[in-house]
């Protein structure tokens, strides 16, 4: 008997919605791929529970079609596992099942399924239910993203930072990847508002946001508005020395910025940086607190400078003075 093997795509087409099919019937996989091939869907297959969970975590589908009759356990057990894990809980799941008894439907919906389709099903009906689930998922994602974006600067906000920072910290601890975080504060920002007005202060904040975007090393770098005139930058796969170079470039760009409506105004920023080349012995919260302490030291040692701590080996502090 020929071994069944999933046929994962070598590349992901961003124009297609990713759908993970979880069913032990290869005929069903072939049927759905053939009959829905014109529906702008990218399919991946899983035939048993562990394979399905691993692909849900690594491939991040936008929808899961889940059969309740799986080889080694009830599909409801997998559904509960998906909804209990932070990596997969927000993926919508449509249950496909030959069970028509209300108790199965109630259990599936109670565990977080968005729909329940009984076998045998009409393909046109399944197509409509898939479209509806994907449309709702996209709307929810859009609302969630707007709730995590700062309205003035367009950067991510503090809520988003808190979530992503925990994820990047865990990744650093688990896999040993370098990681750095920087906190930037605009010097004498209150005097800018007092002397030039709050609209000018808002313009400065928006300009700082543009500078942060332009000076990010990679797309994976994450710039957020932390609150008020304070910003935070998460730099995955970046050690303290590399992060210091990035932040010095940002500091210089801020200092060199000129303001057409107020040519006499000068804006500078102070930056605190903490980085590591691998796992650390401090918590994610302590890491941010140390970064805030470095920012405090930068402010109180003259402003317009970068203070850096390298957590690798012996902790050292370096101060980069303005030119």
Q: What is the pLDDT along the chain (323 residues), one digit of tens a residue?
A: 333 334 444 445 566 899 999 999 999 999 999 999 889 999 999 999 999 999 999 999 999 999 998 877 789 999 999 998 878 998 999 999 999 999 999 999 999 999 999 999 999 999 999 999 999 999 888 877 778 889 899 999 999 999 999 999 999 999 999 999 999 999 999 999 999 999 899 999 999 999 998 876 567 899 999 999 999 999 999 999 999 999 999 999 999 999 888 889 999 999 999 999 999 999 999 999 999 999 999 999 999 999 999 997 545 455 555 44
Tokens of 323: 């030119």
Q: Which residues are catalytic?
A: 229
- Is residue 253 within 8 A of residue 208, CB to CB? The reply is no
- Is residue 268 within 8 A of residue 255, CB to CB? The reply is yes
Distance between CA atoms of residues 286 and 294, nearest Å = 12
Q: What is the pLDDT of residue 142?
A: 82
Domain 17-146 belongs in CATH node 3.30.200.20: no
Nearest CA to 136 out of 91, 88, 76 is that of 91
What number of other Cβ atoms are within 10 A of residue 231's Cβ?
27
**What number of CA atoms fall less than 13 Å from residue 82's CA on the CB side?**
34
Distance between CA atoms of residues 297 and 230, nearest Å = 15
- Is residue 80 within 8 A of residue 113, CB to CB? The reply is no
Q: What is the pLDDT of residue 140?
A: 86
Domain boundaries, the chain: 17-146, 158-320
3-state SS of 167-222 is HHHHHHHHHCCCEEEEEEEECCHHHHHHHHCHHHHHHHHHHHHHHHHHCCCCCCCE
Residue 307, beta-bridge partner list: 272, 319
Q: What is the pLDDT of residue 316?
A: 47
* Exposure letters 134-143 (e unless 16+ CB within 10 A, then b): beebeeeeee
Fold observed for domain 158-320: Alpha-Beta Plaits (3.30.70)
Tokens of 240: 């303290």
3-state SS of the chain is CCCCCCCCCCCCCCCCEEEEEECCCHHHHHHHHHHCCCCCEEEEEECCHHHHHHHHHHHCCCEEEEECECCCCEHHHHHHHHHHCCCCCCCCEEEEECCCCHHHHHHHHHCCCCEEEECCCCHHHHHHHHHHHHHHHHHHHHHHHHHCECCCCCCECHHHHHHHHHHHHHHHHHHCCCEEEEEEEECCHHHHHHHHCHHHHHHHHHHHHHHHHHCCCCCCCEEEEEECCEEEEEEECCCHHHHHHHHHHHHHHHHHCCCCCCCCCCCCEEEEEEEECCCCCCCHHHHHHHHHHHHHHHHHCCCCCEEEEECCCCCEEEEECCC
Q: What is the pLDDT of residue 317?
A: 54
Nearest CA to 230 out of 150, 144, 166 is that of 150
86 vs 57, 89, 120, CA distance in Å?
Answer: 10, 5, 32
pTM above 0.85, yes or no: no
């Amino acid at each position: 008997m020929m071994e069944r093997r999933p046929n994962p795509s070598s590349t992901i087409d961003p124009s297609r919605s990713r759908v993970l099919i979880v069913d032990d019937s290869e005929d069903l996989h072939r049927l759905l791929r053939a009959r829905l091939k014109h529906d702008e869907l990218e399919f991946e297959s899983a035939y048993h529970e562990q394979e399905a969970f691993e692909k849900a975590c690594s491939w991040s589908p936008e929808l899961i079609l889940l059969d309740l009759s799986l080889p080694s356990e009830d599909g409801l057990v997998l559904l509960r596992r998906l909804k209990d894990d932070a990596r997969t809980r927000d993926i919508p799941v449509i249950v496909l099942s030959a069970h028509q008894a209300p108790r199965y439907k109630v259990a599936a919906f109670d565990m977080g399924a968005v729909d329940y389709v009984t076998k045998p099903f009409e393909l046109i009906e399944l197509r409509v239910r898939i479209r509806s689930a994907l449309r709702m998922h996209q709307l929810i994602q859009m609302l969630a993203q707007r709730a995590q974006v700062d309205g003035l600067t367009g950067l991510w906000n503090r809520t988003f930072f808190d979530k992503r920072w925990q994820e990047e910290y865990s990744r650093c601890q688990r896999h040993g990847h370098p990681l750095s975080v920087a906190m930037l504060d605009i010097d004498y920002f209150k005097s800018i508002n007092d002397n030039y007005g709050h609209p000018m202060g808002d313009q400065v904040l928006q300009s700082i946001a543009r500078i942060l975007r332009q000076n990010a090393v990679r797309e994976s770098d994450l710039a957020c508005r932390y609150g008020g005139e304070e910003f935070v930058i998460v730099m995955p796969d970046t050690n303290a020395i590399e992060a210091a170079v990035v932040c010095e470039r940002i500091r210089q760009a801020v200092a060199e910025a000129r303001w057409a409506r107020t040519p006499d105004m000068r804006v500078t920023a102070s930056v605190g940086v903490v980085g590591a080349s691998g796992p650390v012995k401090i918590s994610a919260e302590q890491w941010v607190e140390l970064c805030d302490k470095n920012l405090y030291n930068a402010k109180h040692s003259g402003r317009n400078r970068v203070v850096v701590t390298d957590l690798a080996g012996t902790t050292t502090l370096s101060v980069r003075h303005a030119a």
